[in-house]
Copies of this chain bind each other. A is one copy, B any other.
Amino acid sequence: MSRPTAHEVLAAVLQIRDGHLQVLAWQRAREPDAGRWALPGGRLRDDEDVEASVRRQLAEKVDVREIAHVEQLAVFSDPDRVPGPRTVATAFFGLVPSDADPALPADTAWHRLADLPPTAFDHALIVRDARERLRAKLSYTNLGFALAPHEFTISELRALYVGALGHPVSATNLQRVLTRRGLLQPTGAIAPPGPSGGRPAGRFRFTDRSLRVTDAFAVLRPPGEVARSAVP
């Protein structure tokens, strides 16, 4: 009754580079959509689930050890989303810390989201969803850890948040809020001052490098709890 339906995975891997949010893409050499930029991914194999599949396929483009966070985004299943056999895609979103600069194949490059070249198929939708997910989760999780190096100064962290959110962020409040919620720790180390001098900045790290959600509505959390629960 049905023609064969393939299943693929795709990943929008984001990183703050040069203060701007960028996405990893490769340029298609063959039709359809030759010359356009596509997200890493490919067909789901019989012996792997979608998480394993996206990690395997990302490994073909970058050193997966550089990827600090990967999560499911959504399913894209429009019957005509790609030409040829019907293909349902599970989209993922990944984050690479700003200090990583993984080696890339010749056809692969980073592109600013604000200045994206022509993209293949419906991949621009996936990139848009990934950006929205990132912006939302920065607000109620510790997801900043996946954008930041292991150690950083508050100024550096602020620059990452500005790049990801696209609007000014107060360094004082950022530090206070993250500290109060127990997400941030001073390392004791001191960063060397910049070229134009200035007081040397203290270095910090995130206490957790796995996703944690913080509170929203205080009313709606169990009474007496501090509301800081881990997420699998």
User: Which A residues are within 8 Å of any B CB, using their own CB?
Assistant: 2-7, 43-51, 72, 74-75, 77-79, 86, 88, 90, 136, 138-140, 161, 165, 167-170, 173-174, 177, 213-223
Contact = CB atoms under 8 A, between A and B. Distances in A.
The A contact surface, by secondary structure, is loop
Contacts of A216: 139-140, 214-216
A49 B77 contact: yes
Contacts of A219: 169-170, 173-174, 177
A85 to B, nearest CB: 11
Contacts of A221: 139, 167
Nearest to A50: B77
Contacts of A220: 138-139, 161, 165, 169, 174
A79 B223 contact: no
Contacts of A75: 50, 72, 75, 90
Nearest to A79: B47
Report the copy number of this chain in the oligomer.
2
Contacts of A138: 217, 220
Given A4-B4, A223-B167, A217 B50 contact: no
Most interface-central of A77, A78, A217, A221 (chain B CB within 10 A): A217
A78 B49 CA distance: 5
Contacts of A72: 74-75
A77 B49 CA distance: 5
A204 to B, nearest CB: 16
Contacts of A50: 75, 77, 88
A75 B88 CA distance: 11
A86 to B, nearest CB: 6
Nearest to A219: B173
Contacts of A177: 217, 219
B45 A2 contact: yes
A43 to B, nearest CB: 7
A143 to B, nearest CB: 11
Contacts of A51: 77
Nearest to A78: B49
